[in-house]
């Protein structure tokens, strides 16, 4: 079992060429702004203040690399969904994310942080598509579950699992071409 509290900061990347060496294994954390991503990272690693909570739109967006153990990393991807981000910053985020998801060999899985009261958004789904296109795993953390009653939180969980399974099916069938004709026309 990995001892997450041994985590330590490695490096930050603002540009594609600044990524940490691509060896071993790493898990990426992604989520929209205010999804509870930083809090989730801090609680999982038991290190308050490791990932800083930022609500400042438009500042330089960084990919932060943390070492859990030799050749094992946790990667904090820049948040998305800020309302007032300048176009230039948004495009930079998009290019950096596409590059990261396309090239990263050591990436084994994506922890997608989603506010349980909001559910999956369009940008969250883009993240799922990127990771599934690479045949890697995704695990959705539905955060702030204490804000929902038991019935609502279980409904959100069921819906998220169903949406995830449907995306896996859609992507695998579109590539293999084994969909029934009607589904091919509609989905692909």
CB 56, CB 34: distance < 8 Å: no
List the interface residues with another protein, window 20-59 (CB under 8 A): 25, 27, 36, 39-40, 42-44
CA distance 78 to 63: 6
Min. distance of Cβ 119 from another protein in angstroms? 11
Closer residue to another protein in complex, CB, 103/165? 165
Min. distance of Cβ 17 from another protein in angstroms? 25
Q: Which of 35, 112, 105, 36 is nearest to 73 (CA)?
A: 105
CB 90, CB 57: distance < 8 Å: no
How far out from the chain centre does Cα 96 lie?
Answer: 13
List the interface residues with another protein, window 71-130 (CB under 8 A): 72, 108-109, 111, 116, 122-123, 125-126, 128-129
CA separation (Å) from 99 to 16, 68, 104, 131? 7, 23, 8, 12
Site residues, another protein (CB under 8 A):
1-2, 4, 25, 27, 36, 39-40, 42-44, 68, 72, 108-109, 111, 116, 122-123, 125-126, 128-129, 132, 135-146, 153, 156-157, 160-162, 164-170, 172, 180, 182-183, 186-187
């Amino acid at each position: 079992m990995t001892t997450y509290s041994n985590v330590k900061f490695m490096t930050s990347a603002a540009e594609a060429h600044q990524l940490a060496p691509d060896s071993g294994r790493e898990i990426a954390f992604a989520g929209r702004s205010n999804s509870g991503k930083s809090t989730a990272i801090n609680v999982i690693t038991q290190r308050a203040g490791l990932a800083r909570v930022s609500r400042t739109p438009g500042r330089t967006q960084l990919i932060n690399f943390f070492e859990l153990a030799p050749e094992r990393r946790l990667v904090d991807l820049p948040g998305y969904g800020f309302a007032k981000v300048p176009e230039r910053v948004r495009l930079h985020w998009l290019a950096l994310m596409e590059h990261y998801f396309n090239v990263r060999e050591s990436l084994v899985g994506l922890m997608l942080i989603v506010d349980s009261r909001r559910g999956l958004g369009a940008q969250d789904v883009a993240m799922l598509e990127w990771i599934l296109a690479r045949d890697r795993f995704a695990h959705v953390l539905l955060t702030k579950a204490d804000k929902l009653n038991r019935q609502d939180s279980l409904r959100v969980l069921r819906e998220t699992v169903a949406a995830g399974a449907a995306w896996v099916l859609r992507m695998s069938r579109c590539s293999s071409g084994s969909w029934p004709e009607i589904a091919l026309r509609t989905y692909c």
